[in-house]
Structure 1
Amino acid sequence: MGAQLLKGRTTADASGEVVVFLIGMRVNRWRALRSWLPAARAMPRMLKELSADPGSGLLGFHFLRGDPRTFYTVQYWESREKLLAYAAQPDAEHRPAWAAFNRRARDGRGDVGVWHETYVVPAGGYENIYVDMPAFGLGAAHGTAPVARRGDRAAQRFAAG
């Protein structure tokens, strides 16, 4: 039926720096299946590979959808160094997927677009609250704690960073 509901008010049990990585694709031409389908299939393979390796640095992720053409994941990482190490790892899923995407992009005339954004958020630069929610987002990546532990108000949770 889904993830366990955490009753009441909770907050992520994160401390220190937080690394958030957003990566996605936009289908510019639906009929160009050969351009965008391989990109769409690559992300689940990479996330499966990362999730199977506790030392990879990936702490958690969520698949999301923007407008009807845009799909992306929000990922939480242990450090920017581990994120960059995975991206450069020659024997991992990312490198061949990226090379194949670039080959198709040159031939595809803009059939599919990809994007990513990375945020390294210092301690004290984030806060969160979850009310009657299963572990989600940063809380799923770092675990949760009762909100009173970090402060009942947003300003208190920022200060507890």
Structure 2
Amino acid sequence: MGDRIVEGRMTAAHEGGVVVFLIGMRVNSFAAVSSWWPVAKAMGPMLAELRRDPDSGLLGCKTLRGGMREFYIVQYWESEEKLLAYASAPDRHHRPAWAAFNRRLREGRGKVGFWHETYVVPAGRHESIYMNMPAYGLAEATGVVPVGRRGDRAADRLRAS
């Protein structure tokens, strides 16, 4: 949907469960480019691989920056099973990237930090609102609908799924 403003009060069209996966890195030493640059560039091929495969389970993602040192990606997944299947698949980009990252982390002695968090959100336990915004977040990943279709209040939308 790009940057096209969707006027009015909207919500994400998604009504089922969703997995929210946050993954990020922190540059602890900008001078240690050999420690953090390979970590930063490893994510691109993984996301490209997932986007090419509509059955992968990745609904959408957004790359964000937190301050000068932190970079992270918010990912929306169809299910916990599909996320874990991708992470452990021997023929996909993640496994070799993870192994290389672990080696680099040990060798770098704290020059780059890494984190991830996974939230499994059952159907009916998420809601969203976007006012005069381009499609964003879960709505960008799954579609946008007028708020009234899922309930005018947050409490209504939480029960609507």
Task: Report TM bin, short chain.
Answer: over 0.9
* Structure 1 counterpart of 2:128: 128
The reply to whether residue 39 of structure 1 matches residue 23 of structure 2 is no
Query: Using the alignment, how far apart are the partners of 1:114 and 1:89 within structure 2?
Result: 21
3-state secondary structure, aligned to 1:68: coil
1:5 deviates by: 1.7
CA deviations on 1:50-69 (whole Å, 9 max, x unpaired) are 00111111000000111211
Q: Sequence identity, in percent?
A: 65
Q: How many Å apart are 1:79 and its aligned residue?
A: 0.6
What corresponds to 1:138 in structure 2?
138
Please tell me the residue identity of whatever aligns with 1:17.
G
Deviation at 1:26, TM superposition (A): 0.5
Whole-angstrom CA distance in 2 between matches of 1:52 and 1:4: 24
Unpaired runs of at least 5, structure 2 = none
Query: Which position in structure 2 is the counterpart of 1:97?
Result: 97
Corresponding position of 1:150 = 150
What secondary structure, in the 3-state scheme, does the structure 2 residue paired with 1:38 have?
helix
> Which residue is equivalent to 1:86?
86
Quote the Cα distance in structure 1 between the aligned partners of 2:156 and 2:128.
11
Aligned residues: 160
Looking at structure 1, the residues matched to 123 and 95 of structure 2 have their Cα atoms a distance apart, in angstroms, of 31
Distance 2:55 2:144 in 1: 21
1:49 CA displacement: 0.8
Q: TM-score, normalised by structure 1?
A: 0.96
The 5 A counterparts of 1:40-59 are: 40-59=40-59
Q: Structure 1: 5+ residue runs without aligned partners?
A: none
Residue of structure 1 in register with 2:77 after alignment: 77
What value does the CA root-mean-square deviation take over the aligned residues? Answer: 1.0
Query: Residues of 2 paired with 1:59 and 1:122: CA distance?
Result: 16
Instruction: Give the superposition deviation at 1:106.
Output: 1.1
Question: Alpha-carbon deviation of 1:4?
Answer: 2.1
Cα offset, 1:43, TM superposition: 0.8
In 2, the alpha carbon distance for the partners of 1:89 and 1:123 equals: 27
Per-residue Cα deviation, 1:71-115 (whole angstroms, up to 9, x for no partner): 000000011101001101111111111111111111110111111
> Equivalents in 2 of 1:80, 1:96: separation in Å?
21
SS state at 1:83 partner: helix
Q: Distance in 2 between matches of 1:43 and 1:88?
A: 16
Letter in 1 for 2:84: L
Partner AA of 1:42 in structure 2: A
**How far apart, in 2, do the equivalents of 1:53 and 1:123 lie?**
24
Please identify runs of 4+ aligned residues in structure 1 that moved more than 3 A.
Answer: none
